Structure 1
Amino acid sequence: MAEEPQMVGQTDTSVDVASSTGFGGPNSVQNQQDDDASITDSLTGVGGLESYFNWKDQLREQHGFSYTLDYTSGALAASSSLSGRDFYASGALRFYGSWDLIGRESGNTGTFIWKAEHRHGYTTPAYNGAAADMGYAGALFGPLSDSGPRLTNLYWKQLFKDGRVELIAGMIDTTDWVDLYALASPWNGFTNFSFGTGSATIGVPDDAALGAYFNAMLTDNFYLITGFADANADSTDPFNGFDTFFNDNEYFKSIELGWTTSQERFYLDNAHVTLWHVDERDGAGVSDGWGANFSYSHSIGTKWMYFLRGGYAEDGGSLFQKSISTGTAYHLSDGISLVGLGLNWSEPNQDTFGPALHDQYALELFTRLRLTRNLEVIPNINLIGNPALNQDKDSVVSFGLRARVFF
């Protein structure tokens, strides 16, 4: 579900981040770290830990080593649920970083990247269980679960041609490389996955999927992102992925062709088409599948951004068979606060949820507020119309609050 050459968390959208961090999504390690470092102001004017953050900046500049420790809490209250529960809460501790080990002087760096997490519930079910309990055939902040310790990233990134070409290989989170746009991260953007990767129509594998991606600017405006990963990945048992990768031979594959005004504005002005296929997973009992997605996002100055995205899936374990999302984001102040609004229509994937389910509608409104340099809070409202798994209700409303502190 980071960070960014994008409207989310940028003090100045003209800042050249994409050329230094490559093609990864908003929650990819280096983009998240760039986003955190780009904002030194806050709504309260409280900075704090200045000497510590200055030391971190020097460590990255002098030695190419950067790390982040952050903690995210989330709570959600629902107007109705199938179980009678109406409150869900979870937390996640994450430790991640990058180390440029070769090529720093040439700019064609080779970087070791890692991310480890501990996800835990304050309630049963945890935050990510709210969607099913509300009767929504979808996902609300899916990463905020009670799955315990897990490895999500452990890979090598090699740049070529001054960052215009990159090769990623190792244990990856495919949502960092598939169907990207500025608001794709559930950690500080929309919580509803219908506004995330593939508009919830792509059957992506779990994190720490052993695989590789090749990404390149084909011209100054056209780009390619393509790769594959183990469809049976399990981030709670990541090294078993070597067995499933080489013995099960069940893979997720994708290719994306896109256009952008420039690599420096990769997320701000972007149009692309993504095609994907996933093999049948015998052990998991999930059929093979494929799909196609489109995405268009555009920024107006340094304040506004809007998007239109959608997709189609044929089986493959995705949440939706068909989905269309649109919305906008607006900076209330320069990178310090952001408001996002999204609308979605979806048709649940009958291969995942069963046949004869009616269409769903979703609206989400959130605002991200940087209270201090290293603390942000994100209240949000989700309105689900015609929840497919709770046909006694015309609509269900939830009120959520996320808070993230990073060091």
Structure 2
Amino acid sequence: MSVILLGTPAIGVAQSGIGAVGVTGQGGTKSGYSRTPSLEGPSGVTTQLSEDDAIQGGLLSPDGTLAAFDPWYAFKRRLNEDYGLQFSISLQSLYQSADETLTGISDAAATRSQIQGAWTLFDRGGSNPGKLTFRIRNRESWNGELAPSRLAYQFGSVVNSGTGFSDAGWDLTELAWRQSFQGGRLRAIGGVISAISWYNTTAMSSSLMGFQNTGMQSSLSKASPGRGLGFGFGYEFTPNTVMVAGVHDANGTATRSPFDTIEHGEHFYSAEFRYLPNGLRKQMWDAVKLQVWYQDALDEKGLDAANGVALQAGYLFDDRWYPFAFGGWSDGDASIFEHDLVAGLGVKLDTRRRASNDMFGIAAGWGSPASDALQDQYTAEMFYRLQLLSSFAITPSVQVVRNPAANPGTDQVVLSGLRTRIQF
């Protein structure tokens, strides 16, 4: 089982509150979804719902969304107002190419489609709402190509260069009940949930909108179980101090039934303490996080018990400049790295014609593998997310891997990539 402590959540405030035509011009949103605070990282269901509903200016639609889509957003608005149901649909693709591999396979491509939502069924409009959240996705390699999630292993890297883009097919990655208490100061969650998206994340950790390389999203010195059954709670001690914690099925994975893996009775335990200098409304950006974790021995995988700590810090300056850093230490072989350290910078870019969701990101890091048979690996990534339309973005990127951990015969590999995302 999994447990996650959730305080009163919040999302980042770097946004463009531009108006638009028709129904979409109401309150800077397309369907009227409120920007509900969330302590989950940028990949969380409730975070993505509100972020995707915010009106953004695109290069080809500087005033916001196109009027042709107003009936669709009006329909979503009615569902929310009448029944408390919010949802979004998105389609993503990723192509990557490496300049050198051990296997001769240098290209990878995949698509990812998903539907996610939140249905408030208890105390809608009140101070202690209860809601059902869900996410269903389909991931397929493109035209027989290798999936990007496996490309890095073709040249000896131990870190996934195409996070989120595998060929796993259909899976249910979240089905959970979220309940608020004490006016939102205490919150609980239970169901099929992520074991890692709550901890040690930055505002740029989303594989759909931020960095693609797993090592640039969060410290890989911690164990990283997949999605499984979970139950949790959280608490806001003060407006500036929050704890997020959990107990997770250490064998959880989106590709297997959570009822099968939970039977092993092996768990991942985590607690993260956060200092939020500017409160919950900016917690996605302005935060210092200290995570401590422990994982039981995994009999089937032959892994001994392991433990470690991870630290993350970031701050948004002038609603534009976002420097961040994270790293960690672990004891045992349950994680990819025994020690790692990553630093990066995000820059929110407006243009003269529009307030936009464009973002430039760059990060670099070092990792010392938990296995003595592997060498230290250095990784860097740079991307630019260009918002073409309010609901459509393209993201070219470059990754550089120095000294691939499992390939001492290669000094450097360069990967180029192009990601697309449309959501409605």
Calculate the TM-score normalised by the size of structure 1: 0.91
Matched, 1:167 2:188: yes
Conserved 8 A contact 1:194-1:323: no
1:90 aligns with 110
Conserved 8 A contact 1:43-1:336: no
Matched, 1:61 2:77: no
**In 1: Cα distance, 2:329 partner to 2:374 partner:** 16
Instruction: After TM superposition, give the deviation of residue 256 of structure 1 in Å.
Output: 0.5
1:183 aligns with 204
1:154 aligns with 175
Matched, 1:126 2:147: yes
Conserved 8 A contact 1:20-1:163: no
Matched, 1:105 2:125: yes
1:317 aligns with 334
Greater mean alpha carbon deviation, residues 132-141 or residues 295-304: 132-141
2:47 aligns with 31
Conserved 8 A contact 1:18-1:265: no
SS in 2 for 1:218: strand
2:136 aligns with 116
Paired letter, 2:130: G
Match of 1:42 among 34, 58, 61: 58
**Residues 314-348 of structure 1: per-residue CA shift (max 9 Å, x gap):** 23532211110111111111442000010101112
1:296 aligns with 313
Conserved 8 A contact 1:39-1:336: no
Paired letter, 2:231: A
| Structure 2 residue ranges without an equivalent (≥5) | 1-8, 19-27
Inter-CA distance 366–4: structure 2 relative to 1 (3 Å threshold) = farther
Instruction: After TM superposition, give the deviation of residue 236 of structure 1 in Å.
Output: 2.2
1:70 aligns with 90
Paired letter, 1:402: R
Instruction: After TM superposition, give the deviation of residue 92 of structure 1 in Å.
Output: 1.1
SS in 1 for 2:196: helix
Instruction: After TM superposition, give the deviation of residue 35 of structure 1 in Å.
Output: 0.6
**Residues 77-102 of structure 1: per-residue CA shift (max 9 Å, x gap):** 10101101111111111111110010
1:227 aligns with 246
Inter-CA distance 4–18: structure 2 relative to 1 (3 Å threshold) = farther
Match of 1:11 among 5, 11, 16: 16
Conserved 8 A contact 1:12-1:335: no
Match of 1:214 among 207, 216, 233: 233
SS in 2 for 1:56: helix
Conserved 8 A contact 1:90-1:120: yes
* Backbone CA RMSD of aligned residues: 2.2
**In 2: Cα distance, 1:373 partner to 1:119 partner:** 24
Paired letter, 1:155: A
1:135 aligns with 156
Match of 1:367 among 379, 384, 388: 384
2:349 aligns with 332
Instruction: After TM superposition, give the deviation of residue 171 of structure 1 in Å.
Output: 0.7
**Residues 104-143 of structure 1: per-residue CA shift (max 9 Å, x gap):** 1322110101111111112443111111112212111232
Instruction: After TM superposition, give the deviation of residue 51 of structure 1 in Å.
Output: 2.3
Calculate the TM-score normalised by the size of structure 2: 0.88
| Structure 1 residue ranges without an equivalent (≥5) | none
Instruction: After TM superposition, give the deviation of residue 58 of structure 1 in Å.
Output: 3.4
- Paired residues, number: 394
Conserved 8 A contact 1:39-1:335: no
**In 2: Cα distance, 1:360 partner to 1:7 partner:** 34
1:255 aligns with 271
Moved over 6 A (4+): none
Conserved 8 A contact 2:10-2:283: no
